[in-house]
Structure 1
């Protein structure tokens, strides 16, 4: 394995590298980046992370991209819109029943700013948690006025200015119900994680159809701005075939960075951490750092590529 391409890494290479030494340098570069800032977007970016197919790395990508941006100086808010509360767990924020959460925000009992908690993993990282109360929210929303735009109303510019965030990531449930529709109405962009496996594109057509319906009837500014390939296993031909197929179909919408299948990425939520906090020198952590840099440097606002900001 080649050592990291940094000044300290070059010195270390001359002295003789071990895998542990290499990982330590990588970890230090993640936790204490020399360039501690990424470019801020011209306008705040609100991104819905959606894929109704479960197990594609949706929540994992949401929390790790958010954490990577936060480490590099950008204030980032994660809205956990999945009743399972996995994003809240990974960011180690309280989400027991009774905690101010996205459920209370949707029904109008508290403001988004009141429900937002700071993650212990970074002072730049905020999370509006999901509690078990969210499980019945879709039924309650059906009878409410403006049921599709409750989240959009909560995400007003004034509220987000109060928190001061540059990025908002909305982690959707693995379904195409009313919660996901709320997320799409509230956002400017959709980020779709796609796993590098056999059934990668299964159900994707339905997701894209629903996005088109939202664009047509509820949010004309919504765009699929980013596709992230996850769970890549370089030992298989299938992973390369899926990667090529997705790139051929979606072109530049697909990030160049691919997230590898990683034990560390899978283990991290069990410890209430992102992989950047759990094992910052791991391949998974470095891949999410690279993906976050690419996301920031693309300068995509409202789905329109405007060059590097």
Structure 2
């Protein structure tokens, strides 16, 4: 795999399709050569331009590569420079399952970025990676190779959740329970386990600490892992891609949620719908948005996540888009979505009876 270079600073980064400022390498190429008429020792750089552009690729005397904690601080300064925006903490823990049996709709991306946005603004957040692919663990730069204690140990071997939860580097209020490839066999192994549908719910309830939010990243299926997430959750957040195929399987997901509510978890409800991968250039995206809003009403967040290349690039650096490029449209959209979720949690009861 070809290694990717770090992206320029958001202060000089522009969206895809718009020319970017030259990198230090191209800037050197643009510097006129020293001629015989130039006085030795005289700089050929125009006055006042020495510090006009400093790339994140240029090492400073203090550090060669700024830690993720500095990236997080920079993200808060860019996304919320005045400090006026607050994300209030709920009175009780909100356990949210991020589910949609269709793959590629943005479940993991939504989980990671909402968790980081809330954690950067004072909320204590736990991300439970319940997808055997482990993409949420990758996006948070949490080790999840074979042999690392993971959510599989909690589900199958009843290992306490606090023993497998890892702190996310650079973000003090964020923890992650990783998923390794071992989780791929959990669907079959859970079949013969006692109280198989409520294993995750018991593990979360037994956690000794307090979290404001617990996000459960579900796999793109409706198997026992997803059922465990729905039994453990109070709320379901459904990311919906703004394309026609995304709507086809939605009824089946809603039916399964209703079945879980009737037989296993009466407190479960679909509380949040988030539209993702919105392309304003297409009429289809507008049509899908209108259909979803007409059907789900106020459950649909006003914030809409656009298609944005920075959102796709961020996981390759083990970061969320919130810290990778806080000034991008993807980051600001997830910031607005997180703020909306936080405000709704304060205005409405966290736990509702169906």
Shorter-chain TM-score: what band?
A: 0.7 to 0.9
Q: Which has the higher helix share?
A: 1
Note closer, same or farther for the CA distance 1:291–1:193 as it changes in structure 2 (3 Å cut).
Answer: same
Deviation at 1:89, TM superposition (A): 0.1
Deviation at 1:303, TM superposition (A): 5.8
Q: TM-score, normalised by structure 1?
A: 0.87
Q: How does 1:1-309 map to 2 (within 5 A)?
A: 28-30=77-79, 34-35=83-84, 37-156=86-205, 158-159=206-207, 162-299=208-345, 300-302=348-350, 304=352
Note closer, same or farther for the CA distance 1:75–1:281 as it changes in structure 2 (3 Å cut).
Answer: same
Deviation at 1:252, TM superposition (A): 0.2
Note closer, same or farther for the CA distance 1:26–1:274 as it changes in structure 2 (3 Å cut).
Answer: closer
Q: Which has the higher strand share?
A: 1
CA deviations 1:80-123 (Å, max 9, x no partner) are 00000000000000101111100001113421011110111411
The question of whether the paired residues in 2 share the 8 Å contact of 1:46 and 1:189 is answered with yes
C-alpha separation in 2, matches of 1:83 and 1:200: 22
Flag as ranges the 4+ runs of structure 1 deviating above 2 A: 25-33, 300-305
Give the match's secondary structure for 2:141: coil
Q: TM-score, normalised by structure 2?
A: 0.76
Aligned residue pairs total 282
| Comparing 293-302 and 127-136, the one that deviates more | 293-302
Give the match's secondary structure for 1:258: coil
C-alpha separation in 2, matches of 1:120 and 1:54: 28
The question of whether the paired residues in 2 share the 8 Å contact of 1:33 and 1:72 is answered with no
Note closer, same or farther for the CA distance 1:32–1:142 as it changes in structure 2 (3 Å cut).
Answer: farther
Deviation at 1:283, TM superposition (A): 0.5
Deviation at 1:238, TM superposition (A): 1.1
| Comparing 104-113 and 166-175, the one that deviates more | 104-113
C-alpha separation in 1, matches of 2:330 and 2:165: 27
Work out which of the two has the higher radius of gyration on C-alpha atoms and give 1 or 2: 2
CA RMSD of aligned residues (A): 2.1
Deviation at 1:302, TM superposition (A): 4.3
